[in-house]
């Protein structure tokens, strides 16, 4: 029985040693004559048994050391891989935040230039009250564009307030040539949306529908719920053909599409194109709500 146990132990040791340190090294460490002597002798001497145990112990030690070395190497490799993955995720998140911030800050310089010109015209013609109101609206828009956290999500009510301030400024410039309708139910006031998302869309409507038109133009801002999606739409009754599309080269629409993709992946979509006699842009995103304010 003892011989059988030792034989099994020898076989296991030789296999481990052969796998980990190569067959040739195991052969040098273990003398095959010992095994032969053990097999042919019905009563192996104590010296022979001690020699066998000693050589078996060497091979087992080498095998166990090899297992430990491989395990330690694998553990270190796993730690390095996870650390590398963590740093990569953090770097990508930082890049996304920087890209979102850059996209958000691309407020048209033409808008600022035209607004300041309009304020100057109001002042020189004695319409100080209107000029003051316009300055207040401009301050609201600039404050929103620079607010920390605007590259994340804000309640729809806040986003609509910024959009309304922007369109109020443009209404002073275009006077009777532009009217704006809002269709945004109060139940969606707490729906979350990317900050400063609508401004490029309404600016696009002003630029391509209101500015070149000789007749009054109507802009409609709407929000609705479709299943588990929030759908924000800007439409106008200006010319629908020859306008930038969401997949084209228009900077404003492209920026909005990229922001939606960065924040929501495939669930953030922008669709734009002619609609009836005018043009319509829809921004779709997952529907989520801000917590109820604490009383």
Domain membership flag for residue 154: yes
68 and 16 inside one domain: yes
33 and 174 inside one domain: no
Q: Which domain holds residue 65?
A: 2-81
111 and 7 inside one domain: no
The rounded distance, in Å, linking the Cα atoms of 41 and 94 is 74
Domain membership flag for residue 259: yes
Check pLDDT > 90 for residue 71.
Answer: no
Domain membership flag for residue 115: yes
Residue showing tokens 């192996």: 44
Domain membership flag for residue 100: no
Q: Which of 157, 167, 160 is nearest to 134 (CA)?
A: 167
Please state the three-class secondary structure of 66-119 as a single string: HHHHHHHHHHHHHHHHHHHHHHHHHHHHHHHHHHHHHHHCCCCHHHHHHHHHHH
Counted domains in the chain? 2
177 and 33 inside one domain: no
Which of 109-118, 141-150, 246-255, 282-291 bottoms out in mean pLDDT, i.e. has the lowest?
Answer: 246-255
Domain membership flag for residue 89: no
74 and 136 inside one domain: no
CATH number, domain with residue 205: 3.30.565.10
- Which helix (H) or strand (E) covers residue 279, if one does? strand 278-286
Give the pLDDT band of residue 231 (cuts 50, 70, 90): very high
Task: Note the pLDDT of residue 16.
Answer: 42
Q: What is the pLDDT of residues 241-289, one digit of tens each?
A: 767 665 555 677 888 898 899 889 999 999 998 888 889 999 999 999 9
Domain membership flag for residue 101: no
Q: Which of 252, 3, 294 is nearest to 281 (CA)?
A: 252
69 and 142 inside one domain: no
> Higher model confidence: residue 166 or residue 147?
166
Check pLDDT > 80 for residue 240.
Answer: no
251 and 115 inside one domain: yes
Q: Degrees (nearest 5) of the Cα angle 235, 105, 123?
A: 75
Q: Which of 256, 283, 279 is nearest to 269 (CA)?
A: 283
114 and 39 inside one domain: no
Domain membership flag for residue 94: no
Give the pLDDT band of residue 13 (cuts 50, 70, 90): very low
Domain membership flag for residue 113: yes
279 and 240 inside one domain: yes
């Amino acid at each position: 029985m003892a011989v059988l146990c030792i034989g099994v132990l020898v076989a296991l040791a030789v296999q481990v040693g052969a796998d980990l340190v190569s067959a040739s090294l195991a052969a040098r460490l273990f003398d095959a004559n010992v095994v032969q002597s053990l097999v042919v002798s019905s009563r192996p001497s104590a010296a022979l048994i001690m020699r066998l145990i000693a050589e078996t112990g060497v091979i087992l030690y080498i095998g166990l050391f090899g297992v430990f070395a491989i395990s330690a190497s694998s553990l270190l490799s796993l730690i390095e891989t996870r650390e590398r993955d963590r740093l990569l995720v953090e770097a990508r998140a930082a890049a996304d935040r920087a890209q979102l911030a850059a996209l958000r800050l691309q407020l048209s310089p033409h808008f600022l230039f035209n607004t300041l010109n309009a304020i100057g015209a109001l002042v020189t013609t004695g319409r100080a009250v209107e000029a003051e109101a316009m300055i207040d609206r401009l301050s609201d828009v600039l404050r929103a564009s620079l607010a920390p956290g605007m590259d994340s999500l804000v309640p729809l009510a806040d986003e609509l307030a910024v959009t309304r301030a922007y369109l109020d400024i443009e209404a002073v410039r275009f006077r009777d040539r532009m009217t704006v309708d809002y269709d945004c139910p109060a139940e969606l006031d707490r729906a979350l949306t990317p900050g400063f998302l609508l401004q490029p869309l309404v600016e696009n409507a002003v630029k391509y529908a209101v500015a070149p038109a000789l007749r009054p133009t109507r802009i409609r801002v709407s929000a609705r719920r479709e299943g588990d999606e929030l759908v924000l739409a800007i439409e106008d009754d200006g010319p629908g053909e020859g306008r930038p599309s969401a997949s084209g080269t228009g900077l404003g629409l492209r920026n909005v599409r990229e922001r939606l993709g960065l924040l929501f992946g495939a669930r953030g979509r922008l669709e734009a194109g002619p609609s009836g006699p005018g043009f319509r842009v829809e921004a779709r995103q997952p529907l989520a709500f801000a917590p109820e304010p604490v009383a």
